[in-house]
Structure 1
Amino acid sequence: MALYTVVVVGGGIGGLAAAVALRRRGYQVTVLERAAEFTEAGAGLSLWPNAMRALSALGLAEPVSALSVAETTGGVRDRTGRWLSRMDNSEFVRRHGWPLRVVHRADLLRTLVSALPQECLRPGSEVHAVRPSGDGVDVEHSGGTVRADVVVGADGVHSTLRERFWPDAPGPRYVGCTAWRMVTGPMGDLDADGAVLWGRGERIGFTKLPGGRFYCFATATVRAGEAASDGEHAAVRRRFDRWPDPIPALLAATPENAVLRHDVYDLPPLPAFVRGRLALLGDAAHAMDPALGQGACQALEDAVTLAEALGTNADVDSALASYDRSRRPRTQRIARRAGRLGAVGQWSSPPAVLLRDVAARLTPASTTLRSMDSVLAWTP
């Protein structure tokens, strides 16, 4: 097996997972992160069975499981609080071998960082240029120049590498809604099943985290770039404080400085995830609506698949072509599905909302579970 030298641009979940996967195969890896440290903003993250299999391939399923909570039940409720669909997530275990787990993003990121030697982590390293050079690539960054056989672009939805190497590809597009993410303080004995509540042009959901906390997420159909003059905590409470229990209690238990707001962008399909010796992964390749909870899960799949391709193909070019063939159709299919689900969740017309809610109430849980098989059954 050729021992390639790999430079990963971007130190988020996808980039660090790729570094772990590549290091496990013996490759020399350098992770360049432009921020001063490897951190993740505080919010929750759903790890579906496909993501847990990816983490298992990285040797990290056990430590991540210890930092997460298995969601036991979940589903969708309407604006009045009535259940539209409900699932016992033990069925996920029966069908896919893993439950749906929820982890704090910062805990997952720390676990990935701890699996890497400090010498391969380069915070404060902004990439200025990536130039093909002979059989390799020279990566010029704020700390110098690194030569690599392969460069992994994991620098997010607004990827500068994608902009440079895919100049004719359409950029990220605003999907029409903004999202708030937050983590409550400890909630004592509150025992509430995780759920997403659909309204008219608005959604809010919650699920448990370790330590009696809850991860909450909300969306609203607004113009891009709008910001609340009195802060995002106040903005969320204005919109959702009169929603059904336990929403008011969860918002009241959220610290004022703990609400993150981000406009939601997805990425139109790229014609390829590979250009020369550069491979994109995660949001840089296929940013998607968060409605399906698969963004980070697909980045973890990307990381494991890329390392597998490099380890099992005769040369770099064939390995990257194999990665592209494997990942692009799947991730773009899932992104389309996430976009459709997100759009339905944001419907605001009363007749459309009524139709949506009736259809959800009449769809058997078994049908919903089967519809997710193609997403969740992935194996490394």
Structure 2
Amino acid sequence: MTRAVVVGAGIVGLTTGLALRRAGLDVVVTEQAPDIRVAGATLGLWRNALDVFDVLGVSEPVRAIGKAAEMWFHDPGGRPIPTPGFGPGDHSYLLVHRVKLNEALADAVGRDAIRFDARLTGYDEDDDGVTARYADGSTEHADLLVGADGLYSAVRAQLAPETAAQEHAGHYAWRAVIDPGDILIERDVLVIGHERTRGGYARTYDGQALWLLAQFGSAPPNGSRQAEALQRAVHLDDGGWNSALAELIAATPDERILQNQIMVVPPMPRWASDRVVLVGDAAHAMSPHVTAGASLGVQDAAVLARCLQASPDIASALRGYEADRIPRYEEVARRSGAVEAAGTPEEFAEQYAAFSHWMTTS
């Protein structure tokens, strides 16, 4: 039986482990953390990812920890922005709790197939297979090594050493999930504001409130996280209609606010050797302004499994995977760039709907 080692027990790594197992491979997932741990609070899953989870038989537990949501935008004055030519399906997604999603996927893969406290330091590849080396001196030998170890991938560092993660210059984001208490949240709100800001809030499946705010072309933050977020919230609230965003930020202790300089992986000429391949953020970490990284990474897992089933050998399968994925992500980059470059809220909303329609139907 073909054996695969998947490096990284995040959403994409666990989905890859599950997909490869369903394809008939013997799989072990290795993770440098001591248990299932995830940064961040929630994420959106589009229907292209939900279709993969349907095929893998985990649709029920995934949907049980999610809340149906829609990505409709408002302008700074509170007016909904129409997107002519695009329907509800181009705006609909599932808002899920990151940690609970990882727990559900780990249960589906099987906890006995996940090895924790395993930090990859490198690998050795030859005609007989590939050997993953870990910081504790142990090794894992397999026919295939899959790098699903994210933005700062150790697998990518060896496979393509000139592709270290880079700053998306001037792009910063703030977010948190809190109990809203007495703050009135009657609906989900997402705003494209002045000064290249965007943000809003939504109820999660368990009644908590997610708020988020981001800005392109920002000066480096130099105040508290709360103060920096409040400073930008005014760009999303002409006339005081959107006061709940500022109220949610003000109610969030500084230490509970996640503040990030957005990082990206530069375009790569190859994603694989004969026995080593990248999936998810390890291959294509992108700006989160299109909220598509997780969904696209889940698709990577399905495509890789399909290529391995259809090809006579691993090297051929990985060539087929690259031939499918690399052109697709060139188009992702083009469409994501069009959203970022939008000069008005109306153009942003239109380009965003065009992206989500293409992503979920092509």
Query: Does the alignment reach a TM-score above 0.5?
Result: yes
For residues 90 and 137 of structure 1, the distance between their equivalents in structure 2, rounded to whole angstroms, comes to 47
Residue of structure 1 equivalent to 2:274: 276
Residue of structure 2 equivalent to 1:128: 121
Rate the CA distance shift 1:237–1:212 in 2: closer, same or farther, 3 A: same
For residues 186 and 83 of structure 2, the distance between their equivalents in structure 1, rounded to whole angstroms, comes to 16
Residue of structure 1 equivalent to 2:166: 172
Task: Verify: 1:156 aligned to 2:150, yes or no.
Answer: yes
- Partner AA of 2:128 in structure 1: D
- Which 4+ runs in 1 deviate beyond 4 A? 186-189, 358-361, 367-371
- Partner AA of 1:332 in structure 2: E
Aligned-partner SS, 1:45: strand
Rate the CA distance shift 1:369–1:115 in 2: closer, same or farther, 3 A: same
For residues 360 and 239 of structure 1, the distance between their equivalents in structure 2, rounded to whole angstroms, comes to 18
Aligned partner (choices 10, 13, 35) of residue 8 of structure 2? 10
Aligned partner (choices 190, 200, 217) of residue 195 of structure 1? 190
Task: Verify: 1:115 aligned to 2:105, yes or no.
Answer: no
Aligned partner (choices 215, 219, 243) of residue 214 of structure 2? 219
Rate the CA distance shift 1:332–1:108 in 2: closer, same or farther, 3 A: farther
Aligned partner (choices 16, 19, 23) of residue 17 of structure 2? 19
Task: Verify: 1:290 aligned to 2:278, yes or no.
Answer: no
Is the contact made by 1:74 and 1:86 (CA closer than 8 Å) also made in structure 2? no
| Count of aligned residue pairs for this structure pair | 354
For residues 236 and 94 of structure 2, the distance between their equivalents in structure 1, rounded to whole angstroms, comes to 26
For residues 131 and 193 of structure 1, the distance between their equivalents in structure 2, rounded to whole angstroms, comes to 49
Aligned partner (choices 193, 204, 207) of residue 202 of structure 2? 207
For residues 157 and 248 of structure 1, the distance between their equivalents in structure 2, rounded to whole angstroms, comes to 31
Residue of structure 2 equivalent to 1:373: 357
- Partner AA of 1:357 in structure 2: P
Is the contact made by 2:168 and 2:264 (CA closer than 8 Å) also made in structure 1? yes
Is the contact made by 2:32 and 2:116 (CA closer than 8 Å) also made in structure 1? yes
Rate the CA distance shift 1:117–1:290 in 2: closer, same or farther, 3 A: same
Report the CA distance between 1:243 and its aligned residue: 4.4
Identity of aligned residues (%): 31
Rate the CA distance shift 1:339–1:206 in 2: closer, same or farther, 3 A: farther
Rate the CA distance shift 1:223–1:152 in 2: closer, same or farther, 3 A: farther
- Partner AA of 2:281 in structure 1: D
TM-score between the two structures when normalised by the length of structure 1: 0.84
Report the CA distance between 1:118 and its aligned residue: 2.0
- Partner AA of 2:73 in structure 1: V
Residue of structure 2 equivalent to 1:303: 301
Report the CA distance between 1:78 and its aligned residue: 2.5
For residues 294 and 193 of structure 1, the distance between their equivalents in structure 2, rounded to whole angstroms, comes to 19
Report the CA distance between 1:170 and its aligned residue: 6.3
Is the contact made by 2:121 and 2:135 (CA closer than 8 Å) also made in structure 1? yes
Alignment gaps of 5+ in structure 2: none
Residue of structure 1 equivalent to 2:75: 78
Rate the CA distance shift 1:223–1:16 in 2: closer, same or farther, 3 A: farther
- Partner AA of 1:138 in structure 2: T
For residues 119 and 360 of structure 1, the distance between their equivalents in structure 2, rounded to whole angstroms, comes to 45
For residues 359 and 190 of structure 1, the distance between their equivalents in structure 2, rounded to whole angstroms, comes to 27
